[in-house]
Chain A
Amino acid sequence: MKLGDLTELAARNLREAVLRNSLTTLGISVGVASLVALLSLGVGLQQLVDRSVARAGLFDTVSVRSRQSAPFGQPGGGRRNPRDAADSAPPRPLDDAARKEIAALPNVVEVNPEIRFTAEARREPISQLVMVSGMAPSSQSSGTLDGLSGHFFSSPDAEEAIIQGDLAKRLVDAGQAPNSLLGQEITLRFAQRQALPPPSEQAPTDAPNQAVGPDEEAMGFSIVPSEKKFLVVGVTPTSESGGQVGFNNSGMYLPLAVAEKLEVVQQADLRNMARSSSGEGTRYAALNIRASSPTAVAQIESSVTHMGFAAFSLIDVTRNLRTFFAIFDLFLGIFGSLALAVASLGIINTLVMAILERRREIGVLKALGAADRDVRQLFFAEAGVMGLAGGLFGVLLGWGIGRAIQFATMIYLKRQGMNPPNIWSVPWWLVLGAIVFAVVISLASGIYPASRAARLDPVEALRYE
């Protein structure tokens, strides 16, 4: 029999026992709906995490530290990446030469030093300790500045600051909004490195040196308190609203070039002091490499470690995260499929009942020339039509359930004062996969009834009353 005739007869047969077949189809729909609803939440959560990390620009960032200076326990420090196990390159200082060498690597867009220091932000009469970071112009599009009020730095050399909403709250007068800080000046007080005066300007060697102490001599620089005013041009949202994303969070951001010029004492300086051989020239605490795409990160990481540096990227962390989500989705899929498995028993039951009811009809069909194959296909088609209808309706139902969960989550999170993220996603492959899965399960459920119907002896079937 041709497919069109099969489908037509199957649809007609299904219409005859409309209540029973509708209930069976509804069972499939519920199974598919539970599968779609659970997986859409799993996929949505995964996408939420992926989106957050990707928008923060962390997937295309490699953090580089010198193996000499990176202590155990710090990312890329004493712990070596498994990929670096075979690497025997000797540790090298992270200096200007290294920066240039890294910048010349393929797929490297830019290499910026990591400038992070603690300072005191003051707006009379209020003052607050704050972590300050240098921010490269390319970070403008990153998720760190999501929801920014005001604007990004007007130029790479502008003496401007973008401050975090929570810090802004503390610096404004009581009752004022954090954004009221926009256009106002803030004084930053920090520890500055100051070069030692040349030996000729120092006191004679036989007299005690009043200006430079022995400790400063040993360090190669002196530390002096310094102050500078910055114009607030941007305020990021408070941390509860998702403004703080990524591992480079700070209370205040300055243009990277400006932050570099401040000559602030950083952790690396203290580390260098602790080491016996500090060497000459600029040494960076860390360099942040921006890759042309997340796919280039692994290769850059490998090249950097072969150069003798410790490299770390969030790809290493998210690899485990992806494994977690794969297992999470698998379990959601299994739980969703359980309902579909129960529904498949309904299909078997319905079709076996149909064989009993239509025994005589099967006999007539065979007497008129239906082959065993035709009868088998007819029952398969009925199972397939139920599966298809159940799959389609189930996807709609699952979509609705997912929307309802998303809606309820939104209300709940809003009541908690949080900005509700989209935790629900129904990608096309899930829609298609769920429908195909429903049809396949239905066809598999139809195997036994269809074979039983095909095997019916026509003479016996025609005698059946």
Chain B
Amino acid sequence: MNVPDAATSANGFAIRAEQVSRHYKMGEALIRAVNEISLEIGAGQFVALLGASGSGKSTLLNLMAGLDRPSSGTILALGRNLANMSSEDLATHRNRTIGIVFQSFQLLPRMTLEENVELPLRLAEVPRSERPARVREALERVGLAARTRHRPTELSGGEQQRAAIARALVNQPMILLADEPTGNLDSKTGEEIMSLIARIHRPPSGQGRTIVMVTHERMLAERYADRIVTLSDGAISREERLR
């Protein structure tokens, strides 16, 4: 397996959280969605964040994605502290360093698949001449080369999630963050998506990626992840190294 060069990350870690907290105020109550979590995810690792609803796993994933900022603590992605980044730099982080896959796919319904996949390239200001080849390559990788002109509503759930994965990978990020990627799919399609994610993690050839996946399905996590981190009430309750 080829994994990102450890030298490109800090001390071989793709993501490193140190005493990260994310607290919300809801009326008078303080919600501790993530509470002083410290976590290190090595470059090329596949980590599953497991936990019940409201355990803080999606909030932690959002902090890693740079979609949210921690209330306290530091969170490093490839050695750069996301907590100190400007909103412009965070946007660049989301565009170049990570790719995100959501449970509900989040494809833009009025765009075709190729237009959806092209969006991160537009935001990265990739020259127009390079884009078609990269979009085609990303869609071929997820087996949707024949559906480029289709709109998301014309596709099955599995196909939509594959298109979302193609979109997440088109800018060739080092880290793929997946928030319940099989949550909206039946078990067979979920298996297909997990196989695809596993192939992205450990491709037959080329560079592998660091994957952080939020799930509440222990079976899937045990089957594909290198490591399972279980969260409960905003804190890590258990860590298991599987591989």
Point out residues on A near B: beta carbons under 8 Å: 1-2, 4-5, 9, 12, 16, 360-361, 363-374, 458-459, 462
Which of B94, B106, B111, B128 contacts A369, CB < 8 Å?
Answer: B94
A374-B91, A459-B62, A459-B67 given as contacts; is B123 within 8 A of A12 (CB)? no
Which residues from A are CB-within-8-Å of B227?
A: none
Cβ-based interface call for B186 (8 A):
no
A1-B122, A1-B125, A5-B122 given as contacts; is B91 within 8 A of A370 (CB)? yes
Inter-chain contact A366/B88, CB cutoff 8 Å:
no
A2-B125, A371-B88 given as contacts; is B110 within 8 A of A16 (CB)? yes
Alpha-carbon distance A458/B61, docked complex (angstroms): 13
Closest Cβ–Cβ distance, residue B118 to chain A (whole Å): 9
A1-B125, A459-B67, A459-B68 given as contacts; is B91 within 8 A of A366 (CB)? yes
Alpha-carbon distance A373/B124, docked complex (angstroms): 13
Alpha-carbon distance A373/B92, docked complex (angstroms): 12
Alpha-carbon distance A88/B197, docked complex (angstroms): 100
Cβ-based interface call for B155 (8 A):
no
Inter-chain contact B119/A367, CB cutoff 8 Å:
no
Closest chain B residue to A375, Cβ basis: B91
A367-B67, A369-B94 given as contacts; is B87 within 8 A of A360 (CB)? no
Which residues from A are CB-within-8-Å of B92?
A: 369, 371
Alpha-carbon distance A464/B123, docked complex (angstroms): 22
Alpha-carbon distance A364/B124, docked complex (angstroms): 15
A16-B110, A459-B62, A459-B67 given as contacts; is B124 within 8 A of A369 (CB)? yes
Which residues from A are CB-within-8-Å of B106?
A: 360, 363-364, 367, 462
Alpha-carbon distance A369/B98, docked complex (angstroms): 9
Query: Main SS of chain A's interface residues?
Result: helix
Report which residue of A361, A369, A462 has the largest number of chain B beta carbons within 10 angstroms of its beta carbon: A369
Alpha-carbon distance A189/B91, docked complex (angstroms): 97
Cβ-based interface call for B56 (8 A):
no
Inter-chain contact B110/A369, CB cutoff 8 Å:
no
Inter-chain contact A368/B67, CB cutoff 8 Å:
no
Within 8 A of A (CB), among B58-112: 62, 65, 67-68, 87-88, 91-92, 94-96, 100, 102, 106, 108, 110-111
Alpha-carbon distance A368/B106, docked complex (angstroms): 10
Inter-chain contact B125/A369, CB cutoff 8 Å:
no
Cβ-based interface call for B16 (8 A):
no
What is the number of contacts between chain A and chain B, taking CB atoms within 8 Å? 64
Which residues from B are CB-within-8-Å of A371?
A: 87-88, 91-92
Alpha-carbon distance A459/B94, docked complex (angstroms): 13
Cβ-based interface call for B120 (8 A):
yes
Closest Cβ–Cβ distance, residue B128 to chain A (whole Å): 8
Which residues from A are CB-within-8-Å of B202?
A: none
Q: A16-B110, A371-B87 are in contact. List 6 more A-B contacts (CB 8 A).
A: A1-B125, A9-B122, A367-B94, A367-B100, A368-B94, A369-B91
Closest Cβ–Cβ distance, residue B165 to chain A (whole Å): 13
Cβ-based interface call for B167 (8 A):
yes
Alpha-carbon distance A367/B110, docked complex (angstroms): 18
Closest Cβ–Cβ distance, residue B81 to chain A (whole Å): 18
Inter-chain contact A458/B67, CB cutoff 8 Å:
yes
Listed A/B pairs (20) with beta-carbon separation below 8 Å: A1-B122, A1-B123, A2-B122, A4-B128, A12-B111, A366-B67, A367-B94, A367-B100, A368-B100, A369-B91, A369-B94, A370-B91, A372-B91, A373-B88, A374-B123, A458-B67, A459-B68, A462-B67, A462-B102, A462-B106
Alpha-carbon distance A227/B111, docked complex (angstroms): 95
Inter-chain contact A369/B62, CB cutoff 8 Å:
no
Inter-chain contact B95/A12, CB cutoff 8 Å:
no
Closest Cβ–Cβ distance, residue B230 to chain A (whole Å): 22
Alpha-carbon distance A458/B65, docked complex (angstroms): 11
Alpha-carbon distance A251/B67, docked complex (angstroms): 88
Inter-chain contact B95/A369, CB cutoff 8 Å:
yes
Inter-chain contact A12/B102, CB cutoff 8 Å:
no
The 4 closest A-B pairs by CB, nearest first: A369-B95, A371-B91, A369-B123, A5-B122
Alpha-carbon distance A5/B125, docked complex (angstroms): 9
Alpha-carbon distance A374/B110, docked complex (angstroms): 19
Alpha-carbon distance A16/B111, docked complex (angstroms): 10
Which residues from B are CB-within-8-Å of A370?
A: 91, 95, 123
Alpha-carbon distance A1/B108, docked complex (angstroms): 18
Within 8 A of A (CB), among B31-68: 62, 65, 67-68
Alpha-carbon distance A367/B68, docked complex (angstroms): 10
Alpha-carbon distance A4/B94, docked complex (angstroms): 22
Which residues from A are CB-within-8-Å of B68?
A: 459
Report which residue of B62, B122, B125 has the largest number of chain A beta carbons within 10 angstroms of its beta carbon: B122
Report which residue of A4, A9, A373, A462 has the largest number of chain B beta carbons within 10 angstroms of its beta carbon: A462
Closest chain A residue to B96, Cβ basis: A369
Closest Cβ–Cβ distance, residue B170 to chain A (whole Å): 10
Closest Cβ–Cβ distance, residue B136 to chain A (whole Å): 19
Alpha-carbon distance A341/B111, docked complex (angstroms): 34
Inter-chain contact B167/A368, CB cutoff 8 Å:
yes
Alpha-carbon distance A459/B110, docked complex (angstroms): 22
Which residues from A are CB-within-8-Å of B87?
A: 371-372
Alpha-carbon distance A1/B102, docked complex (angstroms): 23
